[in-house]
Amino acid sequence: MTSPKLLLPLRVPELGPSLGKLVTGTGRDPGGLSLASIRYQLVTKMIESAGEARRLAGNDERSAAIFALSPVFWLTAWEETVNAVAAALIERVSGSITCEAEVVRMPARLRAKLLPSATERRALTARLGSAGAGLVPALDELERRGAAALTATAMERAALEAWHDALRTAARRLEAAWLALEDRAELELARWDPVIQRAAKWRKSLTPVWIASVAALAVAAWLGLTLGGFIPAPAVMQPLLRQ
C-alpha cells in the first residue's frame, strides 16, 4: 500500500474557463423561454462542488475530494437540469394551451385532451436528456483517471495531470450538452406550436344549431300548411281546427 507521505498533493483545477458559455450565457431564449435561472443553478452547483473538492483535498481527504467531482455528481447535476428544463417547457406549453382555450371558451374535457399527457411528458424529458449523450464517454474517462489520481505519487505526476484534463474535458462536454439542450428545447416548443394553434382556432360546432333550426323551420312550415288547409290535419288536431 502506498504511504500517504509519498502521495502527490491533490490539486483541483478551476472549472469555470472550461465551462465556457455555461458561465457567460449564450444570449438565447429558446422559443422565447428563458432558461437562464436553470443554467445559473447548474453552474453554481459545479463551481461549489469544485470548491468543496478543493477544501477536502486541502485536508488530505483525497478519496472524498475525487468523489465530490465524480461521474455520479456530474450525472446527477445533468439530470436535475434536464428535469428542470422539461418542467419549464411543460409549464409553458400547458399555460399557452390553457390561455388560448379560455379565450375561445373551449370545454374543459376537450382542453384536457390537448394538454401534455404523462406519456408525452416522459418522452419530452427523454428527448431533452439525449442532449447529454456526448457527456457520458467523458465521464467514463473521468472515473478511470480519478482512480489513478487517488494513489498518484510524486513519480506519477502524469496521472494527476490526466485527471485534471479529464475534469476539463467533462466541463467542456457539459457546456456542449447545454448548448444542445437549448436547441432541443426550441424544437420541443415548435413541436407543440400546432397544438397551441389548434386550441386558438377552435370554434364551437354549429351543427346542433343548424339541425335545431332546420327542424324548427320544418315544424313551422308543416303547421302553416296544415292550418291553411293545404294538407290534411292529423286526427289529434281536428278539435283545434273546428274551434
Please give the grid coordinates belonging to residue 84: 428542470
CA distances from 239 to 230, 233, 236 (A): 17, 10, 7
DSSP state of 20: T
Q: In sequence order, what are the residues at sequence separation of 6 or more whose Cβ sits closer than 8 angstroms to the Cβ of residue 131?
A: 82, 177, 178, 180, 181, 183, 184
| Coil, strand or helix at 223 | helix
Segments making up each domain of the chain, as ranges = 4-204, 205-243
Q: What is the DSSP string of 133-179?
A: TTHHHHHHHHHHHHHHHHT-BGGGHHHHHHHHHHHHHHHHHHHHHHH
**Region of 125 on the Ramachandran plot (φ > 0 left; ψ -120 to 50 alpha; else beta):** alpha
> Which runs of E-coded beta strand occur in the chain?
none
pTM: 0.80
The pLDDT profile of the chain, 243 residues, written as one tens digit per residue, is 444 457 888 999 999 999 999 999 999 999 899 999 999 999 999 999 999 999 999 998 999 999 999 999 999 999 999 999 999 999 999 999 999 888 888 888 888 889 999 999 999 999 999 999 999 999 999 999 999 998 888 888 899 999 999 999 999 999 999 999 999 999 999 999 998 898 888 876 444 544 555 555 655 555 565 656 666 666 655 555 555
